[in-house]
Structures are given as C-alpha cells and as structure tokens.
Structure 1
Amino acid sequence: MKEYKVTTWKMGLSNNNRRLEDTLNEYAKQGWQVLHIAEHSARIVFERDKNR
C-alpha cells in the first residue's frame, strides 16, 4: 500500500534551487519519492510505501 504527501513549494527571493534541493533531500531521507511537481501551482506530490 502507498501513502502520499502533498506540499506547496514557496519560492523566495534567493537560493530557490538550493532550498528546493534541501527540501527534496529531507523528504527523501524519510523515504518519500517525488511523484509529481506541478509547474504552475508549485505543488509537490510525494509517495512512499506505507508499510516500510
């Protein structure tokens, strides 16, 4: 069984790429994988196995 997490990425004035990379890496450490990044709404959908 899978579980999902949806988060909204908030762009700032500087270091956007670095902050996004840090955020993605932090979720990856928790077992989440990016399923989809919505281009215009800045939503990121993550997926992982529920019984991990």
Structure 2
Amino acid sequence: MKEYKVVSWKAGLTKNNQKLEDTLNQYARDGWVVKHIAEQYPRIVFERDKNR
C-alpha cells in the first residue's frame, strides 16, 4: 500500500534552488519519492510504501 504527502512550496527570491534541493533531499532520506511537481500551484507530491 502507498501513502502520499503533499507539500506546498513557497518560492522565495533568494537561495530558492538550494532550499528546494534541501527539501527534496530531506524527504528522499525519509523514503519519499517525488511523483509530481505542480507548476501553477507550487506543490510537490511525494509517495512511499506505507509498510516500509
């Protein structure tokens, strides 16, 4: 079974790429995989196995 997490992303003016990279890496360390990054609404959808 899968579980999902939706994270709202606030684009800032400074160090935006580094903040995004840090966020993605942190969730990856916790076993989450990016399934979708919305363009119009800054949201990232992550997925992982619930019984991991």
Q: TM-score range by the shorter chain?
A: over 0.9
Deviation at 1:29, TM superposition (A): 0.3
Counterpart for residue 21 of structure 1: 21
Q: Tell me, what secondary structure is at the counterpart of 2:39?
A: coil
* Identity within the alignment, %: 71
* 1:40, distance to aligned residue in structure 2 (A): 1.0
Unaligned runs of 5+ in 1: none
TM value normalised by structure 2: 0.97
Q: What letter is aligned with 2:42?
A: A
State the shift of 1:11 in Å.
1.0
Give the paired residue count.
Answer: 52
Runs ≥4 residues deviating over 2 A:
none
Which whole-Å deviations, capped at 9, do the CAs of 1:5-47 have from their partners, x for residues lacking one?
0010011120000000000000000000000000110110000
The answer for unaligned runs of 5 or more in structure 2 is none
